[in-house]
Every structure is written in structure tokens, then in C-alpha cells.
Amino acid sequence: MKITIAIDGFSSTGKSTIAKMLAEKLEYVYIDTGAMYRAVTLFAIRIGAIDDSKQLDTPLLESQLDAINLRFERNGDTGKADMILNGENVEREIRTMAVSTKVSIVSELAAVREKLVAEQRRMGADKGVVMDGRDIGTVVFPDAELKIFMTASASARAHRRYKELLDRGDDVNYDEILKNVQERDYIDSHREHSPLKQAEDAVPFDNSHMGLEDQFERIYSLAQDRIGG
């Protein structure tokens, strides 16, 4: 039996990493919804709908939403699914701080969420998917057979993000990243449309002091239990 697995939680909790590992182990499809919102944010930056002062020109972005085409494409070098925006591989660009500092502002826009939620539901209609994001278990797939809600302290998440960007060769500042994590937490939890919250039937999972292997084994065990009925 194939099921739908929804992994929600705060930014930089490692949702995507765990979701990718789980999908590979189960031979399921992995859908990175965060990459989709990041791609729309990059699009908004490119058309001048959001600037460095984080002022969003809502009418401009909404008028151009139909011009956005998103898909995932397997990267032969990494084996991962890269984000393709209007035919262009933007996987690296959407992971920059320039996008990270603006994504929560763009993603709280109702028209953006409606467009992407519809696309996510289409992608996961046949089950056998692992999807991570902010509202998968509450809005996109409220009937998912397994829901995980991941969290960790803001400092632990900032350290992880800082190391990830340093390892990639980016010039970053820890304090700036910590501030971004805290700001995203507030915006994601307080937005009007589909705020970040734990679904009543989700399994809470604090990984502040857990290694990746331990996290994976625990969540994989939960998935096996649900798949087994």
C-alpha cells in the first residue's frame, strides 16, 4: 500500500534532507514545496515585484503568476531533483540569502499559495509521495496517512544553515542568518493564509540534538508502521 507522507515544520529543520532520504528508501516521489515558493520569490525579484526593502508589489506579481511554469528535473551529477523555472535550472539561485530573506513575504500571498497548492495536489494525487513544507498536513493533504512536524531551536537551525552556506562557498554572517530564521518563524506562524502550525494528528519531532541517521531511522520506522496499516 502506498501512502502520502507530509513533513511540515520550521525553516532549516532538515525537512528536505529527511524527506529526500525517505522517498529514496521507499521508492516514492519527493516533492520539495519550499523550492517551489523560492522559485516564485526569485521570479518576483527578477520582475521587480519585490525589492531589497522587502516591499512587495502584489498587483504586479499576481498579474504575472500565469507566466510561471515550475517543474522538477533530476540532476544527473547529484542524483537530486533540481527546480526548473520557466525552463531554467535555478536550484542554486533559489538557495541564496537574497531569496531566503524574501520568501516568507511572497509565500504569504493568497494567490501564490492557491496556485502552488493546486500544483502540489496534482503532483501527489496518486499517493506514493513524500512532500515537505509548511502546510502540507494542514492544507495540501489533510488526509495524509503520516504527518510529521519538525522543529528545533532557532540557534541550532541557524548553525546548520550557516554551515551549509559556508560549505557551498557563500560569504555569510551567522547573526544575519539567525535573524532571518527568527523572522521567518514569525511570518510563517502569523500569516493570514495557511499559517505554519502542527496538525492535530501530526507526530511532533524536535531534532535540536539529533544526528541525521537517528532522525531518519525513527521517521522511517513511523513510515513503515503506517504503510503496514
Q: Tell me the domains of the chain and their CATH numbers.
A: 4-223 (3.40.50.300)
What pLDDT, in 10s, does the model give residues 156-212? Answer: 999 999 998 999 898 899 999 999 999 989 988 998 888 899 999 999 999 999 999
205 annotated to a ligand binding site: no
Cβ-contact 205, 151 below 8 angstroms: yes
The strand ranges marked E within the chain are 4-9, 29-32, 70-74, 81-85, 88-89, 129-133, 146-151, 203-206
% of the chain with per-residue pLDDT over 90: 77
25 annotated to a ligand binding site: no
The SS3 of residue 215 is helix
17 annotated to a ligand binding site: yes
Q: What is the pTM of this model?
A: 0.81
The pLDDT score that the predictor gives to residue 210 is: 93
How far is CA 91 from its chain centroid? 13
Q: List residues bridging with 88 in a β-sheet.
A: 85
163 annotated to a ligand binding site: no
Q: What is the 3-state secondary structure (H, E, C) of 113-149?
A: HHHHHHHHHHHCCCCCEEEEECCHHHHHCCCCCEEEE
53 annotated to a ligand binding site: no
Provide the residue count of the chain: 229
What pLDDT, in 10s, does the model give residues 130-149? Answer: 999 989 999 999 999 999 99
4 annotated to a ligand binding site: no
- Decide if pLDDT at 80 tops 80: no
